[in-house]
Amino acid sequence: MTAVETACAPSGSPISGEDAARLAPVFKALGDPVRLRMASMIASRPELCVCEITPAFDLSSGTISHHLKILREAGLVDCERRGTFVYYSIRPAGLRSLSALLDLD
Amino acid sequence: MTAVETACAPSGSPISGEDAARLAPVFKALGDPVRLRMASMIASRPELCVCEITPAFDLSSGTISHHLKILREAGLVDCERRGTFVYYSIRPAGLRSLSALLDLD
DNA sequence: TCCTTGTCTCGATATCTGTCGAATCAGTCT
DNA sequence: AGACTGATTCGACAGATATCGAGACAAGGA
């Protein structure tokens, strides 16, 4: 029995409008199939070069950058440039905020 | 240390395009502040009448219905009509699919 | 049967989003 | 410095989305 199910008994209190406004963009960032798969790819390794992400999708490099930016702004990933290449990695804190909510509501 | 963090070492394999296509709409459903708060309100009780949800938002009843429909179609909530009123409740399975992903990637 | 109340559906509309391609920026190599 | 490659930004546009308000539907009460 997961915490989610435990919570489906009378359970905890609903989140505030402010918390909703803060957390919704994070869910939204994962609410696109391309970004969800990107995030999953990045999370499956210590870090991942954009040049490894791009060929996994049938999309222009402009579009790839756009999606990565949304993941970044949602606090889900970090990036670091080393030379010509840019490497993305997962930000555990971003995922934790979602996980915490799902395990409590 | 959460499973998420554990996973941020070399960790599990990325999800498939099909899984991404299946799960993204669920994240997307929670990716709107209004719906996230609605879902949270519904989850915080065994069930909740639409007539209790509506006044919590400064939105028309048409818009409220629209958002509830999206939560329903994402498999996150169930509804049942009793007399004039419609009661919404959380579907644990919907939340579990998200939770499982977050704890593994 | 009609009226009222709660909920949903539909049509219209303004805004947001995903995508491309071109231009730009950042680094490396010659 | 100039050329090349990887990545981001920008401008444009088609399609999706959130919202409203009006109408339809459902159930109960006068």
**Residue B74 falls within a domain, yes or no?**
yes
Res A72: pLDDT = 98
Assembly ipTM: 0.90
> How do the pLDDT tens digits run along chain A, 105 residues long?
444 444 434 467 899 999 999 999 999 999 999 999 999 999 999 999 999 999 999 999 999 999 999 999 999 999 999 999 999 999 999 999 999 898 877
- Domain with A75, as residue range(s), is 16-102
Res B11: pLDDT = 64
Res A105: pLDDT = 72
Cβ–Cβ below 8 Å for A11 and B45:
yes
Contacts of residue B18, defined as CB under 8 A and 6 or more positions apart, other chains included, come to: none
Beta strands at A77-82 and A48-49: parallel, antiparallel or unpaired:
unpaired
Based on the number of CB atoms within 10 Å of its own CB, is B90 exposed (0-12), middle (13-18) or buried (19 or more)?
buried
**Residue B66 falls within a domain, yes or no?**
yes
Cβ–Cβ below 8 Å for A105 and B40:
yes
The 10s digit of each residue's pLDDT in B42-67 is 999 999 999 999 999 999 999 999 99
**Residue A1 falls within a domain, yes or no?**
no
CATH number assigned to the domain comprising residue A70: 1.10.10.10
* Mean pLDDT value across chain B: 90
Q: How many domains are contained in chain B?
A: 1
**Residue A10 falls within a domain, yes or no?**
no
Nucleotides of strand D lying closer than 7 angstroms to a protein CB: 5-11, 17-23, 26-28
Q: Give yes or no for residue B105 having a pLDDT over 60.
A: yes
**Residue A9 falls within a domain, yes or no?**
no
Q: What DSSP assignment string belongs to B41-95?
A: HHHTSS-EEHHHHGGGSSS-HHHHHHHHHHHHHTTSEEEEEETTEEEEEE-HHHH
- pLDDT (mean) for B72-89: 97
